[in-house]
Chains A and B, each alone.
Chain A
Amino acid sequence: MKVTTQQFREEARKALGDEILQRALAKAKPGFINKRKKAVDALPEFDALRADARAITEHALAHLDYYLERFEANVVANGGVVHWARTADEANQIILGICEAAGAHSVIKGKSMIAEEMALNESLEGAGLEVVETDLGEYIIQLAEEYPSHIIAPAAHKTREQITELFYKHHRQYGKTKRQTEPKALVDEARSVLRDKFLNADVGITGANFLVAESGANVLVTNEGNGDLTSTLPRVHIVTAAIDKVIPDLEDLSTLLRVLARSATGQEMSSYTTLYNGSRRPGDLDGPEEYHVVLLDNGRSALLGSEFHEMLRCIRCGACLNHCPVYGAIGGHAYGWVYPGPMGAVLTSLMLGTDEAPDLANACSLNGRCNEVCPLRIPLPRMLRDLRAIQFQQGGRGVRGKFALQVWAFFASRPNLYHASTSLMVKVWRRLAGKRGVSTFAPFAGGWTAHRDLPVPEGKTFTQRWKRERGRTQ
């Protein structure tokens, strides 16, 4: 799939005018916000949990090498194999190698953001494997050949009618010839189609919400149960996880689970939270024969200890997206890659670079809701500002803006000059506008008047009037 971060403005404009998308967004937003609020209000200990969650993840990152090694040792002790990949390409090669060695033809997948980051599906399909997403939302966007638009609800941008058409088109090959319109019927049909895939796949690939160093377990948090079937039915189970997923122990896990579910969907616990650990044990009647964990770096080790270090503490709950007014207006696809919303603006800018994604850090009003709701208290607005500072220093686009700021700074640090110039400016402006309260043109700020009028100043500055009326010359 194409990365469209360079076309942010155009994509955002299209999204704003897309009635179907707007309807879907309008439906999704209040649900997420209200459910989270209800869950948080019902838990007096929520802020204490958030503080603990922050401390846990900080501690884990500060000793990331130690915990990764412990995790690895425990996976191996339980009959699993751990692979390390520096880049997405390396990870894809490793996974292809595993599939090839296993003689695999079909792969089923649980939802995994890291697999999207790797563009794993393209890599597998390119090698001739059949890949089927089993998370219902991921399945829908797979059929539509789109990126997820939300990290928890990948198909949040799709209306029921769109899902009906997708299923009608793609399920005929399975003998489903009726156009299903009711949500229950759609879900039942997906259940039926995907069940076959579950039962016949050679390889199951899942992501991991957490990796527990203490035991070597990977933790899968889902509501559908698809991740569990993916982890159990095929002969080979591969877990893809970023290196920053590792946490020390089960007490830490409990805290993180408590804030994750509430922040993501307003639940206290997801329906299925499972700790998987290795291949089937002797005597087990089900479970994979091979178990692999692929740990991916992809630039994360470089972020450690940097001013963007805290981005690695993100547990992918989606609360920031749900509360971001920009995301709420344009949806996820305008962000152009895998990660949308505030966390996406930061992560995409870091991983692809601000040259490749110049708008993401700037298309933000710095309102701060994201940081307010983040269960890990990640300072997203601060990081977006830091990204802007990096962009400013590097020049590139917006050189004119850079010059304008320097001119402004020149004036603003010379009060007498500033006050003389501004009084002249507002006098002229007011004169030109007559008695009108607004003008429909804005000399250096054309964007303003695209959608609103520009109020006209009173005509004298405060400083002018203060000097005159109070006779102060201070």
Chain B
Amino acid sequence: MSKLARTQILENIRTSLRRDGAVDTATANGLKARSQSRAPHAQPLIEGSLVDRFIEKHEALSGTVERVGSWSEMPGAVMRFIATHHLPPRVVISGGFPRAVDWPPAIEVEQREARGDDSTSVTGSLAGIAETGTLVMASSKSTPVTLNYLPEFHIVVVPEKSIVAHLEEGLRHPSLKGSHPRAISLITGASRTGDVEQTILLGAHGPRHLHIILVGD
């Protein structure tokens, strides 16, 4: 039935568009060329330091940031966050950080997908987008998406040099080329809702708090 429906719908579309059939070869070539062109449409002008802008946008949405010099300092930053928010010293992490990190014994670390009662996750990211303070993540064997959406507290490690200016650059990140992840996540701030009398509240279903550790090297 779906096949017949498919044929009929496509036929109806073509009739309405006053075309005898599918687009002709010349048009198809033109459409292909359009798709292959990566030229963006109008974009907001972005000036100044991308990192500063990224931080500014993120903080405007109640996000928090800590800047560290190197990857080896990352676990320490995580510990500080846990201490500040009085969280249990237990994190669930993604794999595939660009550098190996040594976690102190005080903190229990598990690399797996998230579960319903996980408090805190620590993940990497592909890039940060300065335009909007957005994080770009892709799903994979080592980066399950539930880490981004289930826990109450989400810590994301972002290398400063991975921060790009515009949405397009984030969506077309080089590491996405050729790979077809199930999910490309653009995350901007924490989970929020305005459904109760327009009061903006955090932690509707996704994380209540988004913390970024910005790594210098």
Contact = CB atoms under 8 A, between A and B. Distances in A.
B206 A306 contact: no
Contact of A63 (B5, B31, B182, B196): B31
A226 B189 CA distance: 15
A325 interface: no
Interface centre among B17, B180, B194, by most chain A C-beta atoms within 10 angstroms, is B194
B116 A252 contact: no
A142 to B, nearest CB: 12
A53 to B, nearest CB: 8
B198 to A, nearest CB: 5
Contacts of B5: 84-86, 90, 297
8 contacts: A52-B42, A84-B9, A223-B192, A228-B149, A243-B13, A284-B140, A286-B139, A301-B13
A191 B23 CA distance: 48
Interface in B164-193: 166-168, 171-172, 180-193
A270 B189 CA distance: 9
Contact of A66 (B31, B140, B149, B206): B31
A150 to B, nearest CB: 10
B207 interface: yes
* Chain B interface extent, by class: 35 or more
Contacts of B80: none
A273 interface: yes
Contacts of B171: 250, 253-254, 275
Contacts of A267: 188
Interface in B77-127: 112-114, 116
Contacts of B161: none
B6 A84 contact: yes
B146 A232 contact: yes
Nearest to B197: A160
B116 A199 contact: yes
Contacts of B40: 251, 254-255
A56 B41 contact: yes
Contacts of B183: 228, 231-232, 274-277, 287
A51 B41 CA distance: 10
A277 B195 contact: no
A248 B35 contact: yes
A228 B193 contact: no
Nearest to A265: B194
Interface string B56-90: 01000000000000000000000000000000000
* Chain A interface extent, by class: 35 or more
B22 A254 contact: no
A248 B187 contact: no
A155 B41 contact: no
Contacts of B22: 65-66, 69
Contact of B193 (A187, A231, A302): A187
Given A268-B57, A274-B183, A248 B141 contact: no
Given A52-B41, A136-B195, A183-B199, A191 B9 contact: no
B203 A187 contact: yes
Interface centre among B18, B144, B207, by most chain A C-beta atoms within 10 angstroms, is B144
A277 B196 contact: no
Nearest to A154: B195
Interface in B23-43: 23, 27-28, 31, 34-35, 38-43
A64 B204 contact: no
A83 interface: yes
Interface in A8-30: 24, 27-28
B132 A251 contact: no
A271 B41 contact: no
B48 interface: no
B132 A243 contact: no
Contact of B38 (A69, A83, A134, A251): A251
Contacts of B31: 63, 66, 248
Given A187-B204, A224-B206, A251 B168 contact: yes
A297 B9 contact: yes
A215 interface: yes
A426 interface: no
Nearest to B38: A251
A286 B146 contact: yes
A297 B5 CA distance: 9
Given A65-B13, A183-B201, A153 B194 contact: yes
A221 to B, nearest CB: 9
Contact of B113 (A140, A196, A217, A285): A285
B44 A217 contact: no
Given A68-B10, A225-B149, A272-B206, A45 B181 contact: no
A314 interface: no
A94 B3 CA distance: 12
Contacts of B116: 195-196, 198-199
B113 A305 contact: no
A364 interface: no
A67 to B, nearest CB: 8
Contacts of B114: 286
Interface string A59-82: 000111110110000000110000
Contacts of B12: 297, 301-302
